[in-house]
């Protein structure tokens, strides 16, 4: 009897073991996640596109906008105004996106989805381009292989910057071929998940070749023969290598924001800001950009910025001692009711200031870069640093919104493409088309994108804007057009030295930096390879500035700048 009972227990245990094993396998399937073994690449592609768009805005509208002096902050200023990065710059987020993108590519190859393959190669190229432009040498050949055996996959070497650019351009050429079919010949559409182009392979193909122009121009100082051949190849064969060119901006690679939560909204929105809109309030226009646009009477300034709430007037007829520092009154300027603060000259004297230390413009006033006390600039009564200075220009109210027709991630645009070709033709003398025509088309495309197309003709007719066939003029217009996408302007600055800028008085160095630090986590986990890459950076007189020594400095030059004499 005992043996029968024992046998019964054994059978029951075996049955339970099989059942538990099946249940455990079932439980290990995340119903809310994507299983790499059977996921549809379209679902992951959507994440790749949206996360890239968000990352690009987070760079180009936040701290890099401070580097390129589009904006400054008057609260939490360190990283934005002063380059106080301290080694905290991390590329982990970009590699996270790249791993998802790699899954899209591998699954699309297995399934024969050529449209997915082409799009994922474009995104791979853009993301690796961003990484090498920001840091220099970086994991590339052995990147995205952490799940495979081998020391080089666990702690990958940082590949030379030249090799990364070469790989990017090869991938973009391959993408151009993959994306060359009519839409109805692709077996799996991506219309529903494609937040850039709604599944249009023609536009993706144009994006691929436009990015190739970007990276060829990136190499133009270091490898001019390669850059010349690449750009001329693309320009000479528009049927084989179509590019983003329509000056109405309809082909621009952009991503709108949904605005249903903080994660899918414009980064300075007030709707989801738990700190009473402080993200929006802290960012002000930078004087460098404001003065450049005022000199050109540029109507885009009124789209991006608000006029000062209260403008200053130093009244020499006001008797000493009668100037109440914070008293304002109403007045009329050009038919507008405005607030003005009249002060007597002794107010300046009492604060140790001169007329040169304040800005009395009635319309737009920017914060100078890296001030020691930006919150109280221009005699503001904002010692508590509440970011409420009424005497400088705040951003337009559109930047308080979660979404809107102008609130887009702008990854590459017709404006950028035309300015690339204008520079190639005018400055380099390459066969890239009519330089003046491209210069004007770049301005027109930017005006169209920002809703002021009706003001384009008058603007380009102005003597201050008329084409002068100089690199400085082309790059400065490109810098203005890069508003909210200042990262690309930074890469142009490093390559050309334009616009001419310097660090402000409280910046970590007197010069504008040229790269991000290799971050602390990578230095700890991959020290040998990071040290090897750092050793290849070229130190400069500014390299000792910063937190991590001259060899891993934001002022040490990566390969693409070495020997060029740029930007300083």
Q: Which CATH number fits the domain that encloses residue 59? A: 1.25.40.390
What pLDDT score was predicted for residue 550?
94
pLDDT at residue 406 tops 60: yes
CA distance 81 to 66: 5
In terms of domains, do 232 and 288 share one? no
109-164 confidence digits (pLDDT tens): 999 999 999 999 999 999 999 999 999 999 999 999 876 666 677 899 999 999 99
The whole-number pLDDT of residue 1 equals 37
In this structure, the answer to whether residues 334 and 234 fall within a common structural domain is no
Categorize the per-residue pLDDT at 266 as very low, low, confident or very high, splitting at 50, 70 and 90: very high
Q: Tell me, yes or no, whether 134 lies in a domain.
A: yes
Chain position carrying tokens 């002096």: 69
68 closest CA partner among 485, 459, 489: 489
Within this chain, do residues 201 and 316 fall inside the same structural domain, yes or no?
no
328 band by pLDDT with thresholds 50, 70 and 90: confident
What pLDDT, in 10s, does the model give residues 305-319?
Answer: 999 999 999 988 776
Which pair of structure tokens corresponds to residue 544? 């000792």
Cα→Cα distances 150→142, 157, 227, Å? 10, 12, 36
Residue 378, domain extent: 284-400
Q: What's the domain count of the chain?
A: 2
Given pLDDT bands bounded at 50, 70 and 90, which one contains residue 25?
A: very low
Distance CA 342, CA 449 (A): 39
Residue that terminates a domain, selected from 177, 205, 239: 239
Which domain-ending residue is among 346, 378, 400?
Answer: 400
Q: Are residues 210 and 316 in the same domain?
A: no
Q: Is the pLDDT of residue 223 over 90?
A: yes
Task: Look up residue 368 and give its two tokens.
Answer: 């100078």
Cα–Cα distance measured from residue 487 to residue 409, given in angstroms and rounded to the nearest whole number: 12
Residue 540 above 90 pLDDT?
yes
pLDDT band at 7 (very low <50, low <70, confident <90, very high): very low
d(CA 452, CA 483): 15
Alpha-carbon distance of 505 to 230, in angstroms, equals 42
Is pLDDT at 20 greater than 50 in this prediction? no
- What is the residue-averaged pLDDT of the chain? 91
In a domain, 207, yes or no: yes
State the DSSP code for 208.
H
pLDDT value for 148: 67
317 and 205 in a common domain: no
Q: At 412, phi and psi to the nearest 5?
A: -160, 140
Q: 160 in a domain, yes or no?
A: yes
Q: Which of 185, 210, 239 is the last residue of a domain?
A: 239
Q: With bands split at pLDDT 50, 70 and 90, how would you rate the model's confidence at 324? A: low
Q: Are residues 231 and 343 both part of a single domain?
A: no
Q: Are residues 205 and 303 in the same domain?
A: no
Answer yes or no: do 53 and 164 share one domain. Answer: yes
Q: What is the mean pLDDT of residues 428-447?
A: 98
149 conformational bin, left if phi > 0, alpha if psi -120 to 50, beta if neither? beta
Q: Supply 406's token pair.
A: 């102008």
Residues in the chain: 568
pLDDT at position 323, please?
A: 59
Tokens 């952009």 appear where? 254
Q: Would you say residue 360 lies in a domain?
A: yes
Assess whether pLDDT exceeds 50 at residue 11: no
Identify the residue with better confidence: 472 or 336. Answer: 472
pLDDT in tens, 480-504: 999 999 999 999 999 999 999 999 9
Residues 311 and 388 placed together within one structural domain of the fold: yes
d(C-alpha 411, C-alpha 60), whole Å: 10
Tell whether 336 is covered by a domain: yes
Percent over 70 (pLDDT), the chain:
91
Is the pLDDT reported for residue 290 higher than 70? yes
My answer on whether 188 and 314 are in the same domain is: no
Instruction: Give tens-digit pLDDT for 169-178.
Output: 999 999 999 9
Answer with the residue of higher pLDDT: 298 or 327. 298
0.95 surpassed by pTM = no
Q: Distances in Å between the alpha carbon of 298 and those of 295, 334, 442, 446?
A: 8, 18, 14, 12
Residues 218 and 290 occupy one common structural domain = no
| pLDDT for residue 334 | 85
Q: Find out whether 496 and 514 touch, Cβ atoms under 8 Å.
A: no
Same domain, 232 and 289: no
- Residue predicted with more confidence, 369 or 15: 369
Q: Using alpha carbons only, how large is the chain's radius of gyration in Å?
A: 27
pLDDT tens-digit series, residues 70-117: 999 999 999 999 999 987 789 999 999 999 999 999 999 999 999 999
In a domain, 337, yes or no: yes
Give the Cα separation of 362 and 391 in Å (integer): 9
Residue 172 lies in a domain: yes
pLDDT greater than 60 at residue 376: yes
Judge contact between 54 and 344, C-beta under 8 A. Answer: no
- 59: phi > 0 → left, psi -120 to 50 → alpha, else beta; which? alpha
Q: Let me know the angle formed at the C-alpha of 437 by 432 and 441, rounded to the nearest 5 degrees.
A: 105
Structure tokens at 458: 């008058």
């Amino acid at each position: 009897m005992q043996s029968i009972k024992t046998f019964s227990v054994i059978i029951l245990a075996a049955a339970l073991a099989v059942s538990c094993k099946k249940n455990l396998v079932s439980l290990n399937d995340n119903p809310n996640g994507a299983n790499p073994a059977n996921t549809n690449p379209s679902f992951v592609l959507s994440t790749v596109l949206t996360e890239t768009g968000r990352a690009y805005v987070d760079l180009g509208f936040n701290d890099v906008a401070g580097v390129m002096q589009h904006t400054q902050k008057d609260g939490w200023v360190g990283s934005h105004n002063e380059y106080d990065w301290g080694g905290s710059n991390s590329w982990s987020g970009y590699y996270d996106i790249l791993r998802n993108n790699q899954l899209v590519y591998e699954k699309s190859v297995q399934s024969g989805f050529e449209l997915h393959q082409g799009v994922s190669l474009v995104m791979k190229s853009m993301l690796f381009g961003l990484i090498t432009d920001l840091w220099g040498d970086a994991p590339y050949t052995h990147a995205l292989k952490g799940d495979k055996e081998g020391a080089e996959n666990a702690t990958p070497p940082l590949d030379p910057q030249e090799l990364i650019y070469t790989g990017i351009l090869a991938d973009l050429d391959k993408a151009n071929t993959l994306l060359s079919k009519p839409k109805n010949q692709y077996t799996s559409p991506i219309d529903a998940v494609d937040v850039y182009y709604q599944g249009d392979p023609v536009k993706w193909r144009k994006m691929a070749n436009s990015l190739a122009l970007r990276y060829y121009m990136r190499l133009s100082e270091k490898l001019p023969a390669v850059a010349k051949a690449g750009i001329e190849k693309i320009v000479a064969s528009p049927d084989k290598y179509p590019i983003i060119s329509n000056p109405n901006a309809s082909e621009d690679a952009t991503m709108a924001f949904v605005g249903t939560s903080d994660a899918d909204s414009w980064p300075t929105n007030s709707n989801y800001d738990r700190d009473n809109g402080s993200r929006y309030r802290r960012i002000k226009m930078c004087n460098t950009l404001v003065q450049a646009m005022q000199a050109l009477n540029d109507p885009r300034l009124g789209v991006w910025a608000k006029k000062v709430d209260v403008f200053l007037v130093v009244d020499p007829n006001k008797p000493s001692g009668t100037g109440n520092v914070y008293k304002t009154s109403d007045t009329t300027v050009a038919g507008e009711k405005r607030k003005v603060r009249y002060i007597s000259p002794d107010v300046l004297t009492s604060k140790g200031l001169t007329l040169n230390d304040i800005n009395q413009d009635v319309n737009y006033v920017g914060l100078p870069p890296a001030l020691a006390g930006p919150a109280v600039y221009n005699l503001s009564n904002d010692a508590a640093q509440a970011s409420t200075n009424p005497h400088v220009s705040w951003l337009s109210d559109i930047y308080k919104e979660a979404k809107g027709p102008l609130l887009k991630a702008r990854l590459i645009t017709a404006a950028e493409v035309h300015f690339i070709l204008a520079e190639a033709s005018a400055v380099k003398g390459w066969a890239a088309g009519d330089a003046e025509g491209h210069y004007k088309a770049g301005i027109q495309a930017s005006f169209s994108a920002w809703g002021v197309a009706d003001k384009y003709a008058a603007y380009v007719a102005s003597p201050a804007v008329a084409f002068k066939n100089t690199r400085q003029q082309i790059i400065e217009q490109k810098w203005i057009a890069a508003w909210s996408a200042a990262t690309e302007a930074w890469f142009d600055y490093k390559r050309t030295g334009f616009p001419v800028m310097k660090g402000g008085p409280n910046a970590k160095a007197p010069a504008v930096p040229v790269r991000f630090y290799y971050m602390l986590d990578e230095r700890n986990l991959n020290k040998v390879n990071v040290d090897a890459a750092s050793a290849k950076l070229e130190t400069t007189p500014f390299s000792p500035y910063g937190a991590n020594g001259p060899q891993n400095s934001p002022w040490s030059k990566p390969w693409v700048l070495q020997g060029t004499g740029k930007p300083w």
